[in-house]
Structure 1
Amino acid sequence: MTIRLRVKNMLDPRLLRAFTAIIDTGSFTLAAERLHLTQSTISQQIGRLEDAVGSVLIERSARPLGPTTTGERLLGYARRLLALQQEAEAALGDPAGTTSIRIGMAEDIVDAAMARTFSNFARRHREIRLDVTAGLSRELMKRYRDGEFDIVIVKENEPDPDCRATFAEPLAWFESADTPVDIHMAGSRADPIPLVAFPLGGLYREAMFARVECEDRRWYVACAASSLHNVLVAVEAGLGISLLPVRATGDYRVRPYAPFGVETAMAVTLYSWESAGVVSELVDSMQAVLAARAAQFPPHTEMVEARS
């Protein structure tokens, strides 16, 4: 019990503050003035600290006052402990990042324009932390309906009536610009045709199978990838063809797969539980980004034949 009390007194910031003030000013009197205490209070605090340490800390015969050998060893620790206390008090007293807005987004929606929107919003509202999760639309929508997200942007065939906004997402079939799937010799073509798809539950997967079968062509899944980037890389490498958002293909060596062409546009839909306050402010900004994004790639936009 006695040892525990001595350690507690040794770490008492009031005692450490008195000790460092004496060393900094070289005087009990000046230290008392700095800390707005009486000289007797300062003397008592140093006495308690020396009792806790078990050694004299101030060389009282020196002018100005200075630390003893033990005092020198303690001084660095004292300053660090006081700095940590000040840092902790500042952090706990600052409301920055104490309120969370949970956002779920299809991965290709998290682009530079959306990131700038988040950055601008965060500067205006330091108290808010944006928790952004990127993933597959069906899973994100399920989690939104379960209350795990405050805002969600998903891709779907038809938007629900409670959406805040919806925009068309042009889709088309793509193959590698360097390694075409079909062998363009004597009219031959790949049979069965290799597909690059998202895993089970992926948004475009069933639509891909239905379209290929409608074209009276056999197919198989040559590669399944869980992210849009990985699907595009697989198509770029010539593993197969895939149904993809036109907007997402610009930085990859892919080209439209002429036999299939474009598909019916998908809906990019924004949902939010709240319709007022700071959440609504953020939703309005996100909606503006989606509107500008849709204007760049309207449905039936003419596509270039190859990416350079």
Structure 2
Amino acid sequence: MQEQGNLIDTDELRAFDAVATKRSFSLAAAELGSAQSTVSQRIARLEKRLNRRLVHRTTRQVSLTPDGEAMLIYARSILALSEEARLRLARPGLKGVLKVGIEDEFVRTRLPEVLGIFRAQFPDFGLKFITGRNEHLRDVLRSHEVDVILGKSHNGKEAATLWEEQLIWVGHRSLQLRPSDPVPLVSYLKPSLTRDLTERALLTSRRPWIDVAECSNLLGVIAAARSGLGVMAIGKSFKKTVLEEVPEDAGLPPLGKLTYVVESNGASLDSAAGAFRAVLSEVAKRSTG
């Protein structure tokens, strides 16, 4: 005898999710590769298990009851967890050490989340990190000090795109900037892709600027901007609460986008680097939508 209140029957939940999505028993059956009668039976068993009416069905339409709408949230969460567990357990265990280079801006914002996910999925696998500016990371990749890097696009043949990052102007809230003022610019030392885009935007808009601070790393750039010395360019999803986006009335030109990519030494990513890239991609999607 089935125990009432035991909700975990993924076949029933999948049938319910399919019917809720398609609003049709026949379309749900086609999607699941089952007979329509099987789908109906699974929905009926789920309703009996819950002692709640979940689906309202007429000759013309299928709709969810209020209890059905509430149950759909739980059903999809349970199915997502089930799929995550299946993928995790089906994945072969990784052992060894992966040497990784990570770009500064990502390190300060999202790296802890990436490390947490990777550690949970591959507890027996080690990581060694080099962090820094994009140009330095490319050097250590060429010298085989790392196996894979996450950096900004340079149109390399081995680059695998993860996401595009919109650049914005940020500065301390105390900084007042008028459209007629030369832009007090805080930037990286050259060479720098971010600096190149920044200066190109200012030149294109014929907006004069003054280099008030040049720094070799992100910590220095942020410190200078936080002090109120000037404005800087940074990826929108990397913006810190201590800095505010420069208002439109300052008249600063749009900056465009940078592409973040994964590059490796080999012709293709091996299993370890591929797994790390998958985690990076997952976190990037969460952060940028």
TM-score category (smaller protein):
0.5 to 0.7
SS class of match (1:110)? helix
SS class of match (2:256)? strand
**Residues 178 and 123 (structure 1 numbering): CA distance in 2 closer, same or farther, change over 3 Å?**
same
Given candidates 226, 232, 236, the residue that maps to 2:226 is: 236
SS class of match (1:263)? coil
Which TM-score applies when normalising by structure 2?
0.58
Q: Shift in Å at residue 234 of structure 1?
A: 1.9
1:208 correspondence with 2:198: yes
**Residues 213 and 257 (structure 1 numbering): CA distance in 2 closer, same or farther, change over 3 Å?**
farther
> Which one is further off, 193-202 or 222-231?
222-231
Work out the CA distance in 1 between the residues paired with 2:181 and 2:96: 54
Work out the CA distance in 2 between the residues paired with 1:214 and 1:203: 16
Is contact 1:172-1:261 (8 Å) kept?
no
The letter of the residue matching 1:180 is Q
**Residue number in structure 1 paired with 2:119:** 122
**Residues 208 and 280 (structure 1 numbering): CA distance in 2 closer, same or farther, change over 3 Å?**
closer
**Residue number in structure 2 paired with 1:160:** 156
Give the unaligned 5+ runs of structure 1.
Answer: 1-97, 183-187, 296-308
Q: Shift in Å at residue 127 of structure 1?
A: 4.5
Q: Shift in Å at residue 266 of structure 1?
A: 0.6
SS class of match (1:267)? strand
1:263 correspondence with 2:255: yes
1:189 correspondence with 2:180: yes
Q: Shift in Å at residue 144 of structure 1?
A: 1.4
Q: Shift in Å at residue 285 of structure 1?
A: 1.6
**Residue number in structure 2 paired with 1:277:** 271
Cα deviation, 1:173-229, whole Å, max 9, x if unaligned, reads 2333212233xxxxx7324x3210111212222222232233323322111122324
Q: Shift in Å at residue 170 of structure 1?
A: 0.4
Give the unaligned 5+ runs of structure 2.
Answer: 1-94
SS class of match (1:207)? helix
Work out the CA distance in 2 between the residues paired with 1:207 and 1:242: 12
Q: Shift in Å at residue 265 of structure 1?
A: 0.9
1:169 correspondence with 2:160: no
Q: How does 1:15-94 map to 2 (within 5 A)?
A: none
Which TM-score applies when normalising by structure 1?
0.55
**Residues 255 and 120 (structure 1 numbering): CA distance in 2 closer, same or farther, change over 3 Å?**
closer
1:140 correspondence with 2:137: yes
Work out the CA distance in 1 between the residues paired with 2:114 and 2:172: 33
Work out the CA distance in 1 between the residues paired with 2:114 and 2:198: 33
Is contact 1:235-1:254 (8 Å) kept?
no
Larger Cα-atom Rg:
1
**Residue number in structure 2 paired with 1:99:** 96
Structure 1 moving runs of 4+ over 6 Å: none
Number of residues of Structure 1 aligned to a counterpart in Structure 2: 192
Work out the CA distance in 1 between the residues paired with 2:148 and 2:210: 36
Cα deviation, 1:39-94, whole Å, max 9, x if unaligned, reads xxxxxxxxxxxxxxxxxxxxxxxxxxxxxxxxxxxxxxxxxxxxxxxxxxxxxxxx
Superposition RMSD in Å: 2.7
Work out the CA distance in 2 between the residues paired with 1:203 and 1:161: 18
Q: Shift in Å at residue 120 of structure 1?
A: 4.0
Is contact 1:110-1:134 (8 Å) kept?
yes
Work out the CA distance in 1 between the residues paired with 2:256 and 2:222: 20
Work out the CA distance in 1 between the residues paired with 2:143 and 2:282: 26
1:108 correspondence with 2:99: no
The letter of the residue matching 1:196 is V
Given candidates 237, 240, 249, the residue that maps to 1:247 is: 237
Given candidates 202, 211, 216, the residue that maps to 1:221 is: 211
Is contact 1:165-1:271 (8 Å) kept?
no
**Residues 161 and 179 (structure 1 numbering): CA distance in 2 closer, same or farther, change over 3 Å?**
same
Q: Shift in Å at residue 268 of structure 1?
A: 0.8
